[in-house]
Amino acid sequence: MESDSAQDQTKRARTHRDAGVIAGETDVPVGTVTGEFPAELETSKREQEESGTGRHAFLVGAGILLSRIVGLIRQRVFAHYFGISDAAGAFNAAFRIPNFLQNIFGEGALSASFIPVYARLLAQDDEEEASRVASAIITVLALTTSLIVLLGVLTTPILIHVIAPGFEGDTYYLTLRLVRIFFPGAGLLVLSAWCLGVLNSHRRFFLSYTAPVAWNIAIIVSLIWFGRHPGVLKGDGLRLFQFDLAVITAWGSVVGSALQFLVQLPTVLKLVKHLRPVFNMANENVRTVVRNFFPVFISRGVVQISAFVDAMLASLISPQAVASLTYAQSLYTLPVSLFGMSVSAAELPAMSSARGSEQQVSEKLRERLDTGLRRIAFFIVPSSMAFLALGDVITAVLYQTGEFKQDAATYVWAILAGSTIGLLASTLGRLYSSTYYALHDTRTPLKFAVVRVFLTTVLGYLFALPLPALLHIDPKWGTAGLTASAGIAGWVEFALLRHTLNRKIGRTGLPLPFITKLWASAAIAAGIGWAMKLAIGVRHPIWTAILVLGPYGVSYFILTSLAGLPEARTVVGRFMRIVRLR
């Protein structure tokens, strides 16, 4: 009888607590509403959440890693057939336009507005209301994206003149055709982003982040199956072949978009009970999602405008510059996705579910934010150093094949090196933005994104076009100025995000001794990698990568372990346990 009584008390306390949260009474500390709620139960729950977040971040990272590995394979196959040709430039420029729809209307904006509301309803065990919200949002998305896709197809010529004003003749008409093919696939990817929001809220991270594997595989199959041709084509023959293959590959991308959506749908249908099309804008939770969506939508749009500006300026240099910029972006966004997105995606639902007084919520957010920042920086710092010092090795091993020659690898390395200026700031900024979204503040990141884009546009133009002429160097190197200018703007945005959030929840950020140890370890490890590269001389790109990047990575982990960093000891400890088990 005593256990039954305690259980009843626990249920009553939880009911009072949830009622207080729903009513907005967040100043009442969790577990002290009636004085009867067991404190040890809340402590155990917090410990489970903390350990679960690390596991969730690992699942996100594992899913992204698998997807990115397949994505790099796709890029390597693409590079084999296209190199940095006009067709490659047209394909990459064309894909940016509908991809704009996916990025601003899908993953970023939808996650920041939908997940906090949906995850809160799940935390309150209100699955019926959560299902109503999910049904209404998917209906709104389907209708809106359908209209935007139709409008995009009709206005494609105008869009191309904006994003690629330097394209002429056959390259322009190929880009026009490719954009119209890509747009429907982008609409499907927006629906796929809705699936991601549902799955992440239910802590089903791995499936949502491995789903893009289906998209990549569809493109790889299209390239390999239709890319076979007898003999070695040259001149106009090779150019026409590449143009035709670009169109086929674009259709393969549309098929892949459908597959990416469909592989997630069965699990989503099991999680969202009673899912049905419904247009219900009267629901307060739906209105909250929509109200929070637009600032993030604009914020993501502003950031994507920055990418458009880069592509536009690169098109004024040459189609080859557009292609090379895309190859470099695939590389420097890899660590951002693996480490920045994995931590941010895992933390957003947990941060959004934080309960208690304002002080308790702020403390919990600070702890999660600082831990996430350390975890991100531990991997981003060596990534930046590797791109800067050993980027030629990385580019060659991934892309140097077929039509992608050694001079192209060197060109992409220069662009990649420019990105290292702001790689850390951009990645840490993702987690800061997620913290704002967890606080239902979507306008502050928007304001700072506008500042970033303004700086990127002004500095990008100066670095890409006038600066090479002033330095009397080949204009093609202005493409590296695009990534460098974006890095400077990224640091400004990061500083603004951190300063404003610190005033809201208290001091956050990375300790100076910690970040100093990271950069010093990465620099010494890069010196070891350089010594290995000079010692082995010219070898096949794969052997060079093994003999150079291997010692670099091992040296970094050893040095950070000797420096007493717990993140390094955790990684090394896990590796040693795996070795012992074998």
Q: Facing residues of 401 across strands?
A: 404
- In angstroms, rounded to a whole number, what is the distance separating the alpha carbons of residues 193 and 137? 12
The phi and psi torsions of 404 (rounded to 5 degrees) equal: -95, 105
| pLDDT, tens digit (0-9, with 9 covering 90-100), for 319-354 | 889 889 988 988 888 888 778 777 776 676 677 766
Are residues 394 and 386 in contact, defined by beta-carbon separation less than 8 angstroms?
A: yes
Half-sphere exposure of residue 121: CA atoms within 13 angstroms, side-chain side: 21
- What is the C-alpha to C-alpha distance for residues 440 and 573, in angstroms, rounded to an integer? 38
CA 276 to chain centroid: 30
* pLDDT at residue 479 tops 60: yes
- Listed in sequence order, the residues at least 6 apart from 558 whose beta carbon sits closer than 8 Å to its beta carbon are 572
Q: With bands split at pLDDT 50, 70 and 90, how would you rate the model's confidence at 68?
A: confident
Which residues are within 8 A (CB) of 535 and not within 5 positions of it... i.e. 6 or more apart? none
**Cα–Cα distance list, 335 to 414, 419, 426, 492 (Å):** 18, 12, 11, 20
Q: Is the pLDDT of residue 27 over 50?
A: no
Q: Is the pLDDT of residue 40 over 60?
A: no
Is the pTM here over 0.75, yes or no? Answer: no
Query: With 80 as the cut, is the pLDDT of residue 199 above it?
Result: yes
Three-state helix/strand/coil letters over 490-525: HHHHHHHHHHHHHHHHCCCCCCHHHHHHHHHHHHHH
**Dihedral, CA atoms, 568, 354, 210, 542, nearest 10 degrees?**
-20
List, in sequence order, every residue forming a beta bridge with 404; answer none if it has no partner: 401
How many Cβ atoms are within 10 Å of 274's Cβ, its own excluded?
11
What is residue 77's three-state secondary structure? helix
Model confidence at 34, in pLDDT bands (50, 70, 90)? very low
Of 301, 303, 325, give the one whose Cα is nearest residue 313. Answer: 325
Task: Return the structure tokens found at 138.
Answer: 């998917």
Distance CA 407, CA 400 (A): 9
Structure tokens at 59: 């699942």
Return the closest-CA partner of residue 453 out of 497, 429, 425, 488.
488
pLDDT confidence band for 578 (50 / 70 / 90): low
CB atoms within 10 A of CB 491: 17
Largest CA distance in the chain: 88
> By CB neighbour count within 10 A (0-12 exposed, 13-18 middle, 19+ buried), where does 423 fall?
buried
Q: Would you state the pLDDT for residue 3?
A: 39
